[in-house]
Structure 1
Amino acid sequence: MKKKTTSRKGERQSRDGRPKEIKYFDYNLLFIIIFLICFGLVMLYSTSSYTAASKFGDAAFYLKKQVMAMMIGFVFMFMLASIPYTFWKQFAVLAYAASVALCGAVIVAGRNYNGSQRWLQIGPISFQPSEFAKIAMIVFLAAFIERIPKQIAKFSAIIKVLAIIAPVLIIIAISNLSTAIIVAGIAVCMMFVASPKYSHFVALALLGIGAVAVFIMIESYRLDRIKAWLHPETAGDDGFQTLQGLYAIGSGGLFGKGLGQSIQKMGFVPEAQNDMIFTIICEELGLFGGICVILLFLLMIWRMMIIANNAKDLFGALLVVGIMSHIALQVILNIAVVTNTIPNTGVTLPFISYGGTSIMFLMAEMGLALSVSKGIRLQNIEG
């Protein structure tokens, strides 16, 4: 039998003398996803049990709905992970058109909940089209930027990209400014990675600030949120949620009151299971628990950076950059809101806050990221 040869770098080679390539799969990212989801379910039950028992007579009401959405999300994740990510490139334009149509339908026939018209009812199914718009825009922009990798260095090309996605941004911003900011942020991050000239993005940031200011002035309730952010103690009902959330964070101390021992979740923090769930995490698990959650998200972003850096093509790299940007922006905005660093924007904490549509599309995005990781090739040192 012919002995295996060894390369100058000490790597074992296959019998024909060439390094043998094996497929890669990021199990580290998969583990982080599963851990975050399981942690989210525990905290969701702890946070929502009192409200669920009071409103519906079932302490696990929100948990059951989230578990059902999570199971559908797992199907989406493993299905997308098993399909080569390049398959979705051909549906990029269709995804864009569908996002425009669905988000437009919300304005015309959307369902109102807690004063926000963000849901679309199709038979027994109710979902937020803006969540679909996030993943649709990631796929569309990755496919579009891949076609013009050299032109994206020009400021005119950046403006062209923004002009193309402007209809989606405007439609979303009418009813959900925070989601529009996230979608715009995803687009800017993807172009920033693809462009070698960073100076253009300073002007783009100023343009974005101006656009947000216009949308804030259009709706009076957004100005009220600015006032509540600056002076929550004198803002009455507008500052009530923020103050109660800060009380929850402050009362948790270093290690918290213990899992399930929150006081603020008992009707003091409105809708605590949604946007404000991080405040209950800090109250029950303390500063230590809050930092651990942030570190988990940093680990997730780090794994996606590794996948993006080693992706076999620009389309795959941009897909993962878009997904990574989505997670990072949403985590930053959510924690900034609950700590009153920025005005209240109604952004959920990924994988942890209650929301069926959100968890399903987030897991679909994770499936895309895992699919890109499968495209990475490694040399098998075992030969």
Structure 2
Amino acid sequence: MARRQEKEKKQKPIRYFDYSLLFLIIFLLCFGLVMLYSTSSYYGSTRFGDTAYYLKKQLFATSLGIIAMIIVSRIPYRFWMRVSGLAYLMAFGLCTAVIFIGTEAKGQARWIYIGPLSFQPSEFAKLAVIIFLATIIYKTSKQVGDFKTLVKVMAIVLPVVGVVAYNNLSTAIIILGIAVCMLFVASPKYSHFLIVGGVVLAVGVIFIALASYRAERIQIWLHPEEYEKGYQTLQGLYAIGSGGLFGKGLGESMQKLGFIPEAQNDMIFSVICEELGLFGAICLILLYLLIIWRFMVIANNAADLYGALLVVGIMAHISIQVVLNIAVVTNTIPNTGISLPFVSYGGTSILFLLSEMGLALSVSRGIKFEVT
């Protein structure tokens, strides 16, 4: 009897929690805060008389994000299946509302102010689309290989992509990329994505042609030295080039002293390259790769398809955003406003990124290993 009980005890599944992912997130957050302070101290001092102005605001948002991450990680992830439709409708409603009542900044209305706090609905839309698409694909998993089902799912996502693209093309591209990645992973027929890719490319060309400022960005990308708006790109490249192999040292950047406009936002990677050099840039990229690897481990071992799809959506979001941000900073693609996850300044962004991390950790809690 004792041996039998001991055998049953040994065969009892052990619940898993990805502490490796949690450690990597905390490490990246700390690194991001250090680099944000280094990058933004000059702007904070000259504009607000406080070198830690941006750091304090980011710390507040990060604290809220960590609380959200802890709460979400303790909620069974299948709960989000019940509210996925509501989340999608809220995202669509908020992104539509921002067109009419949003506060304008830098020529684009992307924020809604609630008292002293600002909120960017497009950041919430990324998370809502991940939850909603995971639910739709999970419920139609047997038909997802059918081209008609693929088109229907894409058609469901397009309304949010459309309203986001009105003011924020870069975020719309990320949302569309998330949707394509999730469907690509779930679908057994990859040939369908050649057709979808061709259609998306054609629509993208037409969309760019409809607005002169979007077409102008292509010219600025090709010849930044010939346009006034290419100034930021050139200064970012100067920063990257002057950093060398090991950089000038933390806090020693020259380009952040007014040469790179809003360096703490989308162009923070160029300051990282200047201060920490190629070595620091590669270490940061490796850190992102480690996080993506942990997502892959969680997705491969998830208890069900729904959990795997959630993590795939989160992995797609982080991957696409990191690649696009670095590509913009290095002038590999035309300049557009895409932040570097966990590092760039942005309260709404860090709040929802950490909420996504909580969701991934919640899926990791559902993993069970049999011990024999």
| TM superposition score normalised by structure 1 | 0.95
Confirm whether residue 202 of structure 1 aligns to residue 202 of structure 2: no
Partner of 1:298: 289
Query: Which of 223, 227, 249 pairs up with 1:235?
Result: 227
Query: Which of 200, 203, 206 pairs up with 1:211?
Result: 203
- One-letter code aligned to 1:2: A
Confirm whether residue 375 of structure 1 aligns to residue 366 of structure 2: yes
Confirm whether residue 75 of structure 1 aligns to residue 75 of structure 2: no
Partner of 2:173: 181
What is the CA distance between 1:96 and its match in structure 2?
Answer: 0.6
C-alpha separation in 1, matches of 2:10 and 2:284? 44
Task: Report if the CA contact (8 A) 2:111-2:119 is conserved.
Answer: yes
Task: Report if the CA contact (8 A) 1:229-1:340 is conserved.
Answer: yes
SS of the residue corresponding to residue 264 of structure 1 reads coil
Identity %: 62
Confirm whether residue 347 of structure 1 aligns to residue 319 of structure 2: no
- One-letter code aligned to 1:77: M
Partner of 2:315: 324
SS of the residue corresponding to residue 151 of structure 1 reads coil
Gaps of 5+ in 1: 5-12
- One-letter code aligned to 2:51: A
Task: Report if the CA contact (8 A) 1:327-1:350 is conserved.
Answer: yes
Task: Report if the CA contact (8 A) 1:173-1:215 is conserved.
Answer: no
Query: Which of 279, 303, 319 pairs up with 2:270?
Result: 279
C-alpha separation in 1, matches of 2:116 and 2:238? 38
Q: Which deviates further from its counterpart, 198-207 or 317-326?
A: 198-207
Query: Which of 55, 79, 93 pairs up with 2:47?
Result: 55
- One-letter code aligned to 2:100: V
SS of the residue corresponding to residue 248 of structure 1 reads helix
What is the CA distance between 1:123 and its match in structure 2?
Answer: 2.5
SS of the residue corresponding to residue 2 of structure 2 reads coil
Over residues 341-363 of structure 1, what are the superposed CA-to-partner deviations in whole Å (9 max), with x where a residue is unaligned? 00011100000000000000000
| TM superposition score normalised by structure 2 | 0.98
What is the CA distance between 1:19 and its match in structure 2?
Answer: 1.0
Confirm whether residue 2 of structure 1 aligns to residue 2 of structure 2: yes
Partner of 2:147: 155
Gaps of 5+ in 2: none
CA RMSD of aligned residues (A): 1.2
C-alpha separation in 1, matches of 2:9 and 2:364? 26
Partner of 1:36: 28
Confirm whether residue 141 of structure 1 aligns to residue 155 of structure 2: no
Query: Which of 106, 109, 112 pairs up with 2:104?
Result: 112
- One-letter code aligned to 1:274: N
What is the CA distance between 1:18 and its match in structure 2?
Answer: 6.2
SS of the residue corresponding to residue 152 of structure 1 reads coil
Q: Which deviates further from its counterpart, 245-254 or 161-170?
A: 161-170
Over residues 289-309 of structure 1, what are the superposed CA-to-partner deviations in whole Å (9 max), with x where a residue is unaligned? 001110000000000000001
- One-letter code aligned to 1:373: S
C-alpha separation in 2, matches of 1:207 and 1:306? 33
C-alpha separation in 1, matches of 2:238 and 2:177? 31
Over residues 317-368 of structure 1, what are the superposed CA-to-partner deviations in whole Å (9 max), with x where a residue is unaligned? 0000000000000000000000000001110000000000000000000000
Query: Which of 235, 255, 264 pairs up with 1:264?
Result: 255
- One-letter code aligned to 2:294: R
- One-letter code aligned to 1:254: L
